[in-house]
Amino acid sequence: MGVKGMLLFVIVALVLVEVEVVAIDNTDGTQIALDGCQRKCGDVQISYPFGIGNSNVTHATCFLEKSFELTCNSSTSTLIWGTNIPVKSINISGGQADMLIFVSVNCYSNDSGNTITYSPLHNLTSIPSFTISSKDNKFISVGCDTFGYLNSFYDNNTGYSTGCLTRCYGNNVEIKDGDCSGIGCCQVDIPPGMRKVSTLVGTFENFNSSLTFNNCSYSFVVKNGDYKFLKKHLVNLTYERLPVVFDWTVGDGTCEGGTNACKGNSRCVNSDTGYGYRCQCNPGYEGNPYHPHGCTDINECDTENHTCLSKHNCLNLIGSHKCFCPKGQSGNGTKEDGCHKKNFLPHIVIGASAGFITMLVGTCLLYLTYQKRKFIKLKEKFFKQNGGLILLQKEEESSHTKIFTASKLKKATNNYDEKLIIGRGGYGTVFKGVLENNTIVAIKKSKVVDADQLQVEQFINEVIVLSQINHRNVVKLLGCCLETEVPLLVYEFVSNGTLFDFIHNENKRNHFNWENRLRIAAEAAGALSYLHSSASIPIVHRDVKSANILLDEDYTAKVSDFGASRFVSVDQNALATVVQGTIGYLDPEYMQTNQLTEKSDVYSFGVVLAELLTGKKPFSFVKLEEKTNLVTYFLSCLKEDCLFEALQVGILNEGNKQEIVEVAIVAAKCLRLKGEERPSMKEVAMELEGIRLMSKCHWINNRDKNFEEIQHLLPMSSSSEKYEHGDSSSGSHQNTKYDSIIKDQEVLIALPSGR
């Protein structure tokens, strides 16, 4: 090879080496500093978000925020923060920087006396992004009879301090090198989050005993392990600056506050100092999380940072790695389990087992699918059988009727848990349920009954009508479920039990005064009057009784009928339930006509009024062979002028005698044997409401003077029917007044057994 050829080879080699160095340098730069920015100053590497000046490529600043701007003293190759703070190192992953900070010094002389030296840790500590690391530094005071403080202030009035003191009393014998436990040298831990920090050092006054060997005191913050106390430091501490570790954060908010400076494959971590945040590479990645290129994947297999037997058993993945065994061997390829030669017998057993399990699971799935389809078809059958198609056809009329699925009601009642039963009747059971929207409801689950197509259509019509009823004293029918063998009815839940409980339960009766009884009676009468005359289609209740009058949390009456699960037409203008009434409340005319009408409801309500007055059950056994009928007993008391003796204990007082008499008169009218002689529910409701109004009038006791006004409030009453209270001599007069009412009840009808 000639000289020219050799020269050309050298030039090409130099160019290739330079290109390789530049490429490597650029690769490092992408992970450390921004493109076109200085990457080193002396021996200190400059990592973004720190930087010097502007990029010579993009002309943008080389630092993220003003607080991260640095300068490089070219003459000393020293990296400087601010005006004169040397930077020793920058740790990106840990969010720390080591800087050299001045030592506070205070020297004492007999001529100048004692002074206290105050030394701030420069302007760095006034920036919220920088705080002194409480884990990596100590606060140290050196000297005899010396005190040192480390102060931190957030504003003019808020801050805290820490410090320590040493006393030698002229004794330097006990002072030893490396011992900073309180004699000649003391140290304390630094509280977290200290900003705007200053050190203060001073000497106790009037000390002369230490001057012979120590007349200077020192206080400083120093990185753990970077200062060792020596006895000669009491005479002269040669350090002007010492390294201090600062924690730094970026931003002025939190990770949750919006966008942050964290780049690809990194995560944001809130600062424990309460200001700003840090960025960290995700597990399996390395690099500078603040750099636009973000963090890069670590090849654990090449770096030996893996858990596999060797790099040959290691497969690098993005952000992680995977261990494996060569073909023909078993195991997971990790250092813990290793790899082994395969034993095919377990595979055969596993394969056979898997095949059997697959076949078993497949059979089960087929069976479950068959059962599910069968269940769906059964629900469709019940839905059609119970009139679901009829309900869907009446779109406009049924818009107020909600159709519940069987699964939702089953879930609402915890599979119809017996603990949730709130009532039982001859036609079914009532459960308390909680729907998915936390609405509490009462769900009526009926007993199995047979129904022809006509009854089904009439049932759907009645559900539509009842769903449209919106009266404050009628329990709201929310909807129904038609997917079960017998329809489920969903009502609003009334929380305070039944009127029957409050009359006959001694614990509840103590809080059940006359005013509440009269109000509840008026509300129930108003509800029945509404059903009879104000509903879109008149509805006959047919099972009026105190057990069907519920009370809510405010003791407001709510008329209910949970037994009404099937309906028949009385005529084209009225609907009524198939329920045949309850013994003791049943209209005597029913035994002759086999029909229950609006006047039947009036009779049953009269029994409820008698029950409210006397506190006795409609039909009871005093002894095994002795039966008591409330209607007979009540009317007899009216006839024999012993009404007040028959009242339930606690009702009567001097202010309500007249009201009780008026209510008793209304009850007696309702209990007339012939239905045509009974008042309508509208008249009963008006009468009871009039009595309530009288009770609120201040002139109620002056009855004789305001007789005409009372007659106006009670339009059903007549002077011949008023039950005037007075002495016992008026008994014959009262008997004459009530003969027309009582004589119809003298013949008792033996009623058939019922629910």
Q: Annotated binding site for ATP: which residue ranges?
A: 445
Q: Are strands 575-577 and 539-540 parallel, antiparallel or unpaired?
A: parallel
Spatial strand order of the sheet with 402-403 comes to: 402-403, 477-481, 488-492, 440-446, 428-434, 421-425
Intra-chain end-to-end CA distance of the chain, in Å: 125
Q: What are phi and psi of 323, to 5 degrees?
A: -100, 145
H or E segment to which residue 286 belongs: strand 285-287
Query: Which residue matches tokens 């009770």?
Result: 695
720 within 8 A of 737, measured Cβ to Cβ: yes
CA distance 405 to 392: 14
> In the annotation, is 543 catalytic?
yes
Identify which of 128, 125, 68 has the alpha carbon closest to the alpha carbon of residue 271.
128
The strand pairing partners of 511, in sequence order, are none
Please write down the HEC assignment for all residues of 317-345: ECCEEEECCCCCEEECCECCCCEEECCHH
Catalytic hit among 98, 136, 247, 543: 543
Largest CA distance in the chain: 158
Q: Is 595 exposed, middle or buried (0-12, 13-18, 19+ CB in 10 A)?
A: middle
* Cα–Cα distance measured from residue 684 to residue 663, given in angstroms and rounded to the nearest whole number: 10
Residue type at 78? T
- Binding-site residues sit at 445
Q: Which amino acid is residue 339, in one-letter code?
A: C
Residue (of 474, 483, 408) closest to 439 by Cα position:
408
Q: Which two tokens stand for residue 183?
A: 């004699």
550 within 8 A of 560, measured Cβ to Cβ: yes
* Of the candidates 473, 484, 410, the residue with the CA atom closest to the CA atom of residue 443: 410
Residues designated as active site: 543
